[in-house]
């Protein structure tokens, strides 16, 4: 995989287009360093013309020692003997003029080929055997709309980045009415619907080409839902499962926002989940639906230790006490998120409140949940043993027919 760093979004997009699908754009130098620390399979780093040469040379010097298989390519608006001499001393693999996009592409090809050769021939440069599948997958679910599910999903994803320390992919699995792109004011070039045409050859590079990095929140990348509700045909549970498995290999955390239904795609996400965040609100219809959801999860063998109930708008004065809610649900409330008019205001601005106002009571509650139930636990294996997955869909179909 190739990483691109260019402070100018237009320049980064130009490099991305020139290099094809097997690359990812990183917005800042700090985010780049954190990305390289957690993604040991990267082969090349392309430093754009807007990045100062001193930082590029410092990175090359460090990588030459700690990651000899990783090649640094520096793009400059003008290449002179002084730049070439400094780059050579620092261990930069190639220096290419900004206008020479074919030259950049050729340089990346050479650097990646050398990286593979080094891994095969030089001791200590092979990737760790346990690098794959290390990510933690969190599914945010609720069998009723309007409870704040997308708000929790987007803010939880931001909280998990820890200001760029972790790589997080937010997946919008509400294939008909997904709102993640709107909530984050994203303008995606691709959506999950584009994976259908790639299904026969779906791999890491193909999935990465569908992602939309967030321009200002370091570490956050998204896979958005189809922009047209009619474009979800062909997005099967099997395809969703393959996408999520690939994302778990590439990202520290994967957060899945779901539709309010136990459909095939949601069940696939639940199968791969390390934690299921279930949202509750203080009204009788919502609690009744959540109780039915919990009973369904019990019936289809999802381990209770992987549930976490999040009480949204917990301070609403509606005559229901917390102990009454826990008694009704027969599960404890993991975190209480207060009500605030600031939340819909930030949604309208397309900026998650955790990012805009980290010390806001809503932000603090979501970060508390992230730290206690996800960051601290960080499970390494899928929560659902394979033997428990076999007949979930058939069980739910039979239950629907008899109810």
The model's pLDDT over 181-236, given as tens digits with 9 standing for 90+, comes to 999 999 998 999 999 988 777 888 889 889 999 988 888 999 999 988 777 888 99
> How many C-beta atoms lie closer than 10 Å to residue 147's C-beta?
21
Phi and psi at 171, nearest 5°, equal: -110, 125
Can 2-121 and 136-402 be said to share one CATH topology? yes
Of these ranges, 8-22, 186-200, 354-368, 389-403, the one predicted with the greatest mean pLDDT is: 354-368
Closest CA to 292 of 151, 374, 368, 396: 396
The model's pLDDT over 281-325, given as tens digits with 9 standing for 90+, comes to 887 887 888 888 888 888 877 788 888 988 888 777 666 777 777
d(CA 75, CA 95): 6
Compute the average pLDDT of residues 106-127: 73
Query: pLDDT above 70 covers what percent of the chain?
Result: 87
Compute the average pLDDT of residues 137-142: 91
pLDDT score for 378: 52
Q: Is the pLDDT of residue 130 over 50?
A: no
Domain ranges of the chain: 2-121, 136-402
Q: Is the pLDDT of residue 44 over 50?
A: yes
pLDDT score for 380: 34
Compute the average pLDDT of residues 80-108: 91
pLDDT score for 319: 60
Q: Is the pLDDT of residue 165 over 70?
A: yes
Fold designation for 136-402: Rossmann fold (3.40.50)
Q: What is the DSSP string of 350-382?
A: T--HHHH-TTSHHHHHHHHHHIIIIITT---S-
Of these ranges, 157-161, 268-272, 330-334, 398-402, the one predicted with the greatest mean pLDDT is: 157-161
Report the mean per-residue pLDDT for the chain: 83
pLDDT score for 138: 95
pLDDT score for 152: 93
Q: Is the pLDDT of residue 255 over 90?
A: yes
The model's pLDDT over 257-278, given as tens digits with 9 standing for 90+, comes to 999 888 889 988 988 899 999 9
Phi and psi at 334, nearest 5°, equal: -75, -40
Phi and psi at 309, nearest 5°, equal: -95, 125
pLDDT score for 385: 45
| Cβ pair 277, 149 in contact under 8 A | no
Q: Tell me yes or no: is domain 2-121 CATH 3.40.50.2300.
A: yes
The size of the chain, in residues, is 403
pLDDT score for 403: 52
d(CA 298, CA 305): 11
Phi and psi at 85, nearest 5°, equal: -65, -45
pLDDT score for 131: 43
| Cβ pair 94, 110 in contact under 8 A | yes
Q: Is the pLDDT of residue 178 over 70?
A: yes
d(CA 11, CA 51): 11
Confidence of residue 389 (pLDDT cuts 50, 70, 90): very low
Compute the average pLDDT of residues 344-353: 90
Confidence of residue 129 (pLDDT cuts 50, 70, 90): very low
pLDDT score for 116: 78
Compute the average pLDDT of residues 111-138: 66
d(CA 207, CA 133): 15
CB proximity list for 245: less than 8 A, separation 6 or greater:
133, 272
Beta strands 220-223 and 212-213: pairing type?
A: antiparallel
> How many C-beta atoms lie closer than 10 Å to residue 287's C-beta?
17
Q: Which of 98-102, 106-110, 203-207 has the lowest mean pLDDT?
A: 203-207
Retrieve residue 305's tokens. Answer: 């230790």
Phi and psi at 3, nearest 5°, equal: -110, 135
Confidence of residue 40 (pLDDT cuts 50, 70, 90): confident
CB proximity list for 326: less than 8 A, separation 6 or greater:
332, 333
């Amino acid at each position: 995989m190739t990483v691109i760093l260019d402070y100018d979004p237009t320049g980064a997009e130009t490099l991305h287009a020139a290099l094809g699908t097997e690359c990812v754009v990183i917005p800042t130098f700090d985010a780049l360093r954190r990305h390289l620390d957690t993604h040991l399979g990267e082969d090349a780093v392309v430093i754009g013309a807007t990045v100062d040469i001193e930082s590029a040379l410092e990175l090359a010097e460090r990588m030459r020692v700690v990651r000899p298989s990783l090649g640094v390519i520096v793009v400059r608006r003008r290449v002179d003997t002084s730049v070439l001499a400094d780059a050579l001393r620092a261990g930069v693999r190639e220096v290419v003029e900004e206008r020479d996009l074919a030259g950049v592409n050729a340089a990346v090809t050479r650097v990646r080929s050398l990286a593979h050769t080094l891994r095969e021939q030089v001791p200590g440069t092979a990737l760790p055997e346990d690098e794959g599948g290390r990510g933690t997958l969190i599914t945010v679910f609720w069998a009723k709309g309007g409870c704040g599910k997308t708000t929790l999903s987007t803010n939880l994803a931001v909280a998990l980045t820890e200001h760029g320390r972790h790589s997080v992919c937010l997946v919008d699995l509400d294939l008909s009415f997904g709102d993640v792109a709107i909530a984050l004011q994203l303008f995606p070039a691709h959506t999950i619907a584009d994976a259908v045409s790639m299904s026969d050859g779906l791999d890491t590079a193909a999935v990465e080409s569908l992602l939309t990095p967030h321009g200002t929140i370091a570490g956050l990348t998204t896979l958005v839902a189809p922009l047209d509700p009619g474009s979800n045909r062909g997005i099967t549970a099997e395809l969703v499962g393959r996408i999520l498995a690939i994302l778990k290999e590439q990202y520290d955390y994967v957060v899945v926002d779901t539709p309010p239904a136990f459909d095939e795609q949601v069940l696939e996400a639940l199968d791969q989940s390390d934690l299921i965040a279930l949202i509750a609100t203080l009204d009788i219809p919502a609690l009744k639906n959540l109780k039915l959801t919990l009973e369904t999860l019990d019936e289809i063998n999802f381990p209770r230790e992987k549930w976490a109930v999040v009480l949204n708008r917990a301070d609403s004065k509606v005559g229901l006490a917390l102990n009454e809610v826990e008694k009704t649900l027969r599960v404890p409330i993991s975190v209480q998120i207060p009500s605030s008019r600031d939340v819909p205001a930030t949604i309208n601005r397309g900026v998650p409140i955790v990012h805009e106002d980290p010390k806001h009571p809503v932000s603090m509650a979501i970060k508390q949940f992230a730290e206690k139930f996800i960051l601290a636990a960080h499970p390494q294996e899928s929560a659902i043993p394979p033997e428990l997955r076999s007949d979930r869909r058939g069980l739910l179909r039979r239950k629907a027919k008899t109810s």
